Each structure stands twice: as structure tokens, then as C-alpha cells.
Amino acid sequence: MKKQVFDQAFRQMAAELSHARGSVKTAAAGSGIDPGRISKWRQHQNGSLAVSEKPGLSAGQAEIRRLQKELKEAQSEGDILWRRSASFPGRGQIFRFIKEHREVFAVEKMCKVMRVSVSGYYYWLKHPVGSRVIKEQALLVDMDRIYNESKKRGPQSGPGLRSMAAPGSPVS
């Protein structure tokens, strides 16, 4: 059996005919073409695999619908940036913002707009405090303890901060 080849104009006409008749089966029966093939042509019509158009929409109406969807997406991205408003110096603050607004916007969209990875955000959710922050907090506790001990001894007396720090603490 020889493979049938159909040009783009014929494919588009068959897809439009299936929309006009209301079903792929009736269009296929009238033209002698496999219903699965016409269904694929309908999906690829207007260069989009996920065509969520109602039957009977003209090319102009389909274009308006596509542009409305793009506009809504752009407005959503702009709204994310507007709510962000303050510049965030670190990823932690960006991730906190995403966490606070995940009920309003899609996490993937916010990550894209703020140029952080989605996997990085979800990693941060599971590990909100990094090892460096933990070490710094331990060092601050040590420094506070040493300061309070030296304050009890009076001004300019006793060993300095470096000598009283816990062994292995990076004090400079």
C-alpha cells in the first residue's frame, strides 16, 4: 500500500471541516481519511499541539484567544515583580518571598521570573537553614558568652576573644 501524502492546505481544510461538522468521525467518513490523522491535524492547527479551541472559531478568534492568554501570563509575571518590589540580595529572601506567595502565583512561574531554579526552591523548603548559618550562629553564641564573661572581670582585664574561643572556631 502506497503512503498518502497530504499538503498543508489540505490538512488545514480537513481540520476546519471537522470543526464545522462538529466531529472528527463525520469529517473522516466524508473524506475517506483516517479519523486519527484528522485529529492530529486539528491538534497541530495554528502551530499549537494543545489547541483548546471551541469548534467553529475562526483563525482570527483563535489568534485573539492566544494573545489574551499571553497577556494574562505577562501580567502575572509583572504582578510577581511588582509584589517583589524590593531587591533581594540573597536566594533565601527570594525563596521566602516565593513561599509567602505560592498560594497566589505558581511556584514555577515565580522561580522563572526571579531567575532561581525550582529544584533549589524545593531544596530550600526542606533545608531552610544552611550549615554556614548554623556555624555562624554557634560563633555568635560563643562571642556573646565570652563578652559577658569579660564584662564581669572589668575593663581591659583577662584574655581576649581569640584565646577564649572554643577550639577550632574561626575567629579573626
All residue ranges of the chain with pLDDT < 70 are 1-3, 46-55, 79-89, 153-172
Q: What are phi and psi of 55, to 5 degrees?
A: -60, 140
How far apart are the C-alpha atoms of 112 and 139, rounded to whole Å?
A: 36
pLDDT per position as a tens digit, 24-46: 777 777 777 877 787 777 777 75
pLDDT at residue 50, rounded to an integer:
43
Return the domain boundaries, the chain: 8-47, 59-126, 131-164
The SS3 assignment for 64 reads helix
pLDDT per position as a tens digit, 63-74: 888 888 888 877
Q: Would the pTM count as exceeding 0.85? A: no
pLDDT at residue 122, rounded to an integer:
92
- Type of residue at 165: A
Which of 87, 100, 93, 91 shows the shortest CA–CA distance to 119? 91
